[in-house]
Amino acid sequence: MAKKRAIDELLKVMARLRAPDGCPWDREQDHKSIRMNAVEEVYELLDAIEAEDDAEMEEELGDLLLQVVFHAQMAKERGAFDFEKVARNILDKLVRRHPHVFGNVKVKDVSGVWAQWDAIKQTEKAGTINERRSAFDGIPRHLPALMRAHDTVKKARKHGLLSKGRKSQSKEKLGRQLYQLAQRAQASGWQSEELLRAETARQEKILRQKEKARQKKKRA
């Protein structure tokens, strides 16, 4: 007798937990109530990866998969989508965005791969409610402030809205400077996360205006 696939059993267990006679806690959850669980699991996975602990990584990947299965089950109950649709979508996306592997397209290097990926993504979203009219539209709003600032600057430089800037003398020195800024914020009674998030939002607004002006000039 063929052994049952673990993923199939996991989906059945999740459905059972959400059933009328299932677990009271699991049944009362919704997408919003468990939304931060995925964030926590990602951070725990990062810890395992940095520790190079395979056993812990295996466990944390399972915990992260649980979040995917949990959300997919709740969506299935609403008639929105199910786990099969989630898996099919990412499968199709990987094939579609790698025509140099699954098609006849030729790319020279990694930069060519990224340029192709971005072009395909832009085409996919064109004319939809998710169409990205700005280079900054794809940056998640809930990223930690420093990550959001980094991605905002990266996008701006990629699209010629900011100069390349000056490199730091060393990672250690820059890290120390960042830590000292956090110390100064705390000493002043401010949250460095809130300060950077607000400033990034302000800078992003300026960059979007600059981007819009450049687009308008091109159309003229």
Tens digits of per-residue pLDDT, 43-66? 999 999 999 999 999 999 999 999
Q: What is the mean pLDDT of the chain?
A: 93
CB atoms within 10 A of CB 128: 8
CB 126 within 8 A of CB 119: no
Q: Which two tokens stand for residue 22?
A: 């299932």
Among 20-34, 49-63, 68-82, 157-171, the minimum mean pLDDT is found in: 157-171
- Average pLDDT on 72-82 reads 98
Best mean pLDDT range from 89-93, 126-130, 156-160: 89-93
CATH fold of 6-86: Helix Hairpins (1.10.287)
Q: Are 201 and 145 in contact (CB under 8 A)?
A: no
CB 145 within 8 A of CB 196: yes
Give this prediction's pTM: 0.77
Q: Is 81 exposed, middle or buried (0-12, 13-18, 19+ CB in 10 A)?
A: middle
State residue 1's pLDDT score.
Answer: 62
Q: CATH 1.10.287.1080 region(s) of the chain? A: 6-86
